[in-house]
Structure 1
Amino acid sequence: MQLHYFLSSPPGRSQISPLLRLPIELRRQIYGYVLPSTSSLDVHVQRRAGSPERSEFNLTYIRQTIGNGVWRMQKTYPKTEREIGNETVWHRGCISILSTNHQIHDECVDMLYGDNAFVIDVAFDSVKFRYRWLVASSNLTPCRSYSFLDHFSQRNLMRIKNYVINVEHVDDYTGMIKYNCGGRGLTAGILEQVQTLNDLLSLVPCLHRLQIHLIDGAISRVRFPSGRVHRVQDDQNYSQSQRVLDPFHRLYGVRRAKVTGVSAEYAETLEKSMMNSRGL
């Protein structure tokens, strides 16, 4: 049965739309067939039919410290290996139904923002919404990033209940290259962005799912034979780098919270803090 039948009433009958006469549970099922939605999809090795297989690692030249000091190749894995949320894919739908009337609009946006997962990437200079969508004809998943706090209205930001958050903390070497900043200023900048995001999350009435991951945005996660380490989670920096997540301790009442990329003790403490009720 066509959707426009439900959205308008035949002449001479009640002005209430047939769609609005249905129970809210049935209306939500109908909206689910129309609205954009997210799902988990393995996009790690996607490629066009007939195209060559994509490399799962990069090759980096490094100098040996043992022996004659010759250069050799070493495999280093790309940044996507270190992020979470890459499997979250949007299935495009139709949002014209939002302009039907106020009731349908409110029910649809509550479902659109409240039921889907939003992937957020926090870096030294930005808080971005990562939008990855499925192209059904080619089975590819293009991706774009938007300034999270500017792209959505304040009212709709309050409706989002499910988050996947990557917080990128880089070492001084990478920080100087990407942001012209290092040392404590680099950590302070990342901490400020986390605080900005947390100020929003603390206003949301009830967060359903919050998955937070501290990632390393540097060149490689492995120790080079030269002894140089491009990794903020290295032993000497581990306890300091994970402190950029401290603002999330202000959150409470989260139904499901998961923290990764940090020490087991810090993860357990932060998860319990976010899932506690106010005053506990």
Structure 2
Amino acid sequence: MQSSQSPPVEGSPLLCLPIELRRTIYSSILPYTSTFDVRFQRGEGELERSEYNLTLVRQPSEVWKMQKTSPRTDREVGNDIVWRRGCTSILATCHQIHDECVDMIYGQNTFVIDVAFDTIKFRQKWVTASNLTPSRSYPFLDHFSQRNLMRIKNYVINVEHVDDYTGMIKYNCGGRGLTAGIRDRVQELVDLLSVVPYLVQIHVHLIDGAISRVKFPSGRVHRVQDNENYSKSQTTLDPLHRLYGVRKAKVTGVSAAYAETLEKSMSSTRWVLR
């Protein structure tokens, strides 16, 4: 008498497919990042707001000039990067599928990191059915396992250097101590990135590093942009010179000369003499 049960299938049909086809299947299931125009969040008929800051800039003739500063230098980048929801249950099937999927989740998506005086955070933003983009932050180095941290290849990194006034309020620290503390957080992140086997893309942005608040003889406090503040804040990115072999490196929010030097340094190939 024959058994009504089907004979067991040896091996998984999915794993019998070429890896390229499996990745195509995974990509239709797993979460992924994409760009999303945040202007779509405006209500119907609402006009786009033109935002800027009025800042006093010292001229070479020691004359102060009031000008509009672009909000891009005052704000973080990566706001257009959002996570599209997906299913991760497939990771529980077997070790091979798990490893192939997490390699895609961490290796092919862009992770937005915010570095401040006292924190390094991963910012996750996602799109709702009504085109809203809520976000949530997690301690970056503690939220993911070390093994998965080593899989991340694409970064947008915001480094926030607040002015002394804000630094004293938020962190009870100002001056050189404030700059050194932010540089230490950058160094902590670089300690991880320097051992990642292959980095594809890194966009580093320095936020508001050159803006301070100065009390003028009139008694009013103004936002001030000065070369002295500008050059001091840029030093918080100095630890990034340890990185090399980045396929595509971009640095913004700093002087053109500093950006070019740092981009070349991160993109360079380090030759090891044997």
Give the TM-score category using the shorter length.
Answer: 0.7 to 0.9
Partner of 1:146: 138
Partner of 2:159: 167
Partner of 2:106: 113
**SS state of the match for residue 222, structure 2?**
coil
> Normalized against structure 1, the TM-score is what?
0.81
- Aligned residues of 2:210 and 2:227 also touching (Cα < 8 A): no
For the structure 1 residues 101 and 49, does the alpha-carbon distance in structure 2 shift closer, same or farther, using more than 3 Å as the test?
farther
Cα distance in 1 for residues equivalent to 2:176 and 2:30: 45
Pick from 23, 28, 32: which aligns with 2:23?
A: 28
Number of residue pairs matched by the alignment: 253
Give ranges in structure 2 of 5+ residues lacking alignment: 56-66
Does residue 215 in structure 1 map to residue 207 in structure 2? yes
- Aligned residues of 2:245 and 2:270 also touching (Cα < 8 A): yes
Pick from 152, 156, 164: which aligns with 2:148?
A: 156
Cα distance in 2 for residues equivalent to 1:77 and 1:56: 10
Give ranges in structure 1 of 5+ residues lacking alignment: 1-9, 63-73
**SS state of the match for residue 146, structure 1?**
strand
For the structure 1 residues 277 and 140, does the alpha-carbon distance in structure 2 shift closer, same or farther, using more than 3 Å as the test?
same
Following TM superposition, where does structure 1 have runs of at least 4 consecutive aligned residues deviating by more than 3 angstroms? 47-50, 52-60, 74-81, 217-221, 224-227
**SS state of the match for residue 259, structure 1?**
strand
- Aligned residues of 1:89 and 1:132 also touching (Cα < 8 A): yes
Q: Where does 1:1-280 land on structure 2 (aligned, <5 Å)?
A: 11-44=6-39, 46-48=41-43, 55-57=49-51, 82-135=75-128, 137-216=129-208, 228-231=222-225, 234-279=226-271
- Aligned residues of 1:166 and 1:215 also touching (Cα < 8 A): yes
- Aligned residues of 1:56 and 1:77 also touching (Cα < 8 A): no
Cα distance in 2 for residues equivalent to 1:80 and 1:237: 14
Alpha-carbon distance, 1:211 to partner = 0.5
> Normalized against structure 2, the TM-score is what?
0.83
Alpha-carbon distance, 1:13 to partner = 4.9
- Aligned residues of 2:211 and 2:229 also touching (Cα < 8 A): no
- Aligned residues of 1:47 and 1:140 also touching (Cα < 8 A): no
Alpha-carbon distance, 1:177 to partner = 1.5
**SS state of the match for residue 278, structure 1?**
coil
